[in-house]
Amino acid sequence: MGSDHMPIGRRERAKQDKRERIMTAARELFAEHGVDRVTTQQVARRADVAIGTLYLYASTKAELLIMVQNEKFAAAVDSGLAAANAAVGQGALERVIALIRPLVECVREHMENGRTYLRELVFGDPAEPYRQVGLTLAGRVEDGITGLLTRNEDIGAADAATLARVITAIIHISTTATVCPHRSDEAVLADIRDQIHATLAQHIRAA
């Protein structure tokens, strides 16, 4: 009988192997040295591929970083959405904080890499495939915040969508600002919480 899954051919396996080696090499080098002090030649050398081969998978160092960070950010988004959904009985503010906590920790794990990643997503070419993935992840965050806010009867759907965009801007600035790279994650989260509280205050009736 036929199988639901066709076996992967030798050529495809070779491509997957090269991609994984490039991903692993980039991940390790960015973690060790930061994106600004890593070259594509170093990544190619550690991955044991020709530089031309590397460019078939990512044409710039920025794309390499986005490719690596997307995986980490996707895991953080999944974790945040799960935490927010599990925050039963909590108000909108606390559910939003539960969602964004893993995101803040992810971006700030390596400040240089996290700051560059967010900057590239915002200001880079949105048609580039890896950026499209990153922007889709950012959209999941914004949609998740919108969904949390609309659970509150005081916030309509249109306001919730606008507030979600404001909150994501707060997160972006607060996690990448160069004036506070040495602050703890908890200090940054506390500052973000205060900003979101002020943003939502006029939309939620006092208990």
pLDDT digits (tens, 9 = 90+) for 163-194: 999 999 999 999 988 766 688 999 999 999 99
Dihedral angle, C-alpha 44, 67, 188, 170, nearest 10 °: 140
DSSP assignment, residue 7?
A: P
What's the mean per-residue pLDDT of the chain?
Answer: 91
Q: b/e for 184-205, b at 16 or more Cβ within 10 A? A: eeeebbeebbebbeeebeebbe
C-alpha torsion sign, points 132, 174, 165, 80:
positive
- State the pLDDT confidence band at 119, using cuts at 50, 70 and 90: very high
Cβ atoms within 10 Å, residue 48: 11
Q: At a CB cut-off of 8 Å and minimum separation 6, what does 17 contact?
A: none
* Tens digits of residue pLDDT in 134-169: 999 999 999 999 999 998 778 889 999 999 999 999
Whole-structure pTM value: 0.88
